[in-house]
Amino acid sequence: MSLLELEDVTAAYGHAQVLHGISFSLPENGATGLLGANGAGKTTTLRAISGMVRTTGRILFEGRDISGLGPDRTAHLGIAHVPEGRGTIGQLSVRDNLLVGAYQRRDRKQIATDVDYVLDLFPNLQQRVKSNAAALSGGEQQMLAVARAFMAKPRVILLDEASLGLAPSTARRVYDAIVRLRHEAQVSMVVVEQNANLAFSVVDDATVLETGRVALSGSRDELMGMDAVRRAYLGG
Amino acid sequence: MSYFIQVVVDGLSNGAIYAAIALAIVLVFRATGLVNFAQGGMAVAATFVAFALTRAGVPVLLALIAAVVFGFVLGGVLERVVMRHFEGGDPDTAVVATIALLVLLTGLSALFFGYEPHPFPSLFPNRTIGFLGAFVSLRSIGTIAVLLVIMAALQLLFRYTKLGLAMRAVADNPQSSALSGLPVSRLLMIGWGLAAALGAIAGVLVAPQLFISPGMLDFVLVYALAAAILGGLDSPVGAVVAAAFIGVVENLAGAYLDFIGDDLKIAVPFVAVIVILIVRPQGLFGRKVTVRV
């Protein structure tokens, strides 16, 4: 059974329909990518899953239709969404941001262990533990956003353009940590990226969106072998 | 010398009144990210509940507890029924909505109880004690003591509890908080409820001195806002220190500067507030807000 499955999902902001029937599925312990140009509907697809936009169609999580549930409810079920633009809580310290991530958990000791784990995963954050999130660099904020999502002990992390606005070497470091997280913590992921090279370092398969529709989908190796995909997303 | 001490002591007891409301403003600011003008209206409405009960023969302490419960429910209901429609929109619109609530609540209080001031029984014995040659009322001492306890409790709530952390997160970034599973609407409701409950305590503390009327807190609200801003808006300790400062400066200026006297003294603390804020825009105890693009 798939962990997460979208069936013919549409979404609109007011009268502007952005998704015209998206379907894809994410297996247990899998990682799938959503690729596509600006405005293709990648971010909206993630927002649809976590209940931030109105949708039609079915969104099944662990076999249960979760469409219509708000973001705090989907978070409860085990869906952690790292939004575009990072979405850290600016006036809270790095440590407090991590604790907010763990808000729904009761296992105090394990929370402390997990804080140590993410600080080990992102050594930059270790040095800034008491700083306000707003005072961090862009790369550090992105690391904090990923770390906060992990602190919820989710079944799946929705990752929206984690490389946006980062220097290539910083983006690489963020993705290296994400790869580590995927394998060490056994958390599934839906990865939205414009930079397909980064996305393909994490995911097993991917779906390419074009103006709110699925243009093609396939395994990582299939997609990387296609000329059209290479030209559009892999720089040659 | 004893005159000086008397003036300072009187200033402190006025400051305690401003501090009571200023604390409620700080609480709601930290819990919702808004400056809530309805604060005064909620406090007055809850105090009138206590007033009606004491008039019916209920002891003041019980009436206070009832007013606190009423305030909590009132704050929660107003958030749920009115303010929720403005959440996620422009904060300016929400602030205007709180002003509308202030007018509405004041009007409703007047509808039931009229506009004339009524005497209100004090929680504390109506006596004074001597202190370095000055007279201090037990009421002022009691008010200050209660305020210090509330101040400490708020500081603990925000700094060391999970609820406090969640309220700070929601006030700062509701969307990201929701994505982390925080029940944003419920937390905002609790924030409003707590602020109104605190307003009820403040109202019952100050009503004996001011006499209860729908407009009882109008001028206090101005001082309290000044104190909250001077203190840094997010700092309970700052609000209390700033309120005491405003009360004392105002009284000293009125007593010692002939050309100011009783009429102009209200202006003095505000001039001081402006000067201080030019030098320290984040307020005395406020944390500097960092914004990075």
How many angstroms separate the CA atoms of A168 and B39, rounded? 50
A–B CB contacts, 8 A cutoff, strictly below: 76
Indicate the DSSP class of residue B289.
P
Give the mean pLDDT of B170-180. Answer: 90
Q: What is the pLDDT of residue B293?
A: 45
**Which chain A residue has the Cα nearest residue B287?**
A91
The answer to whether A90 contacts B290, with C-beta atoms less than 8 Å apart, is yes
How many angstroms separate the CA atoms of B277 and B232, rounded? 10
How many angstroms separate the CA atoms of A132 and A87, rounded? 13
How many angstroms separate the CA atoms of B225 and B94, rounded? 17
What are the residues facing B135 on neighbouring strands?
A: B130
**Which chain B residue has the Cα nearest residue A83?**
B176
The residues, any chain, with a CB within 8 Å of residue A41's CB and separated by 6 or more, are: A11, A18, A19, A22, A209, A211, A212
* Local confidence band at B221 (pLDDT 50, 70, 90 cut-offs): confident
Residue numbers in A near B291 (CB within 8 A): 90, 134
What are the residues facing A206 on neighbouring strands?
A: A33, A218
In contact, A124 and A143? CB cutoff 8 Å: yes
Instruction: Give the sign of the dihedral formed by CA A44, CA A47, CA A48, CA A52.
Output: negative
How many angstroms separate the CA atoms of A73 and B51, rounded? 42
In contact, B201 and B75? CB cutoff 8 Å: no
Calculate how close chain A gets to B93, using CA atoms only, in Å: 21
Residue numbers in B near A75 (CB within 8 A): 178-181
Three-state SS for A84? coil
Q: Which two tokens stand for residue A61?
A: 């999580």
The answer to whether B173 contacts A89, with C-beta atoms less than 8 Å apart, is yes
Prediction pTM value: 0.84
**Cβ neighbours, 10 Å, residue A96:** 18
Domains recognised in chain A with CATH numbers: 2-86+154-233 (3.40.50.300)
DSSP code string of B61-123: HHHHHHHHHHHHHHHHHHHHHTGGGGTTS-HHHHHHHHHHHHHHHHHHHHHHH-SS-B----S
Calculate how close chain A gets to B242, using CA atoms only, in Å: 23
pLDDT in tens, chain A (236 residues): 799 999 999 999 888 899 999 999 999 999 999 998 888 999 999 999 999 999 999 999 999 999 989 899 999 999 999 998 878 998 899 999 999 999 999 999 999 999 999 999 999 999 999 999 999 999 999 999 999 999 999 999 999 999 998 999 999 999 999 999 999 988 999 999 988 889 999 999 999 999 999 999 999 999 888 877 777 776 65
What are the residues facing A81 on neighbouring strands?
A: A158
The answer to whether B165 contacts A101, with C-beta atoms less than 8 Å apart, is no
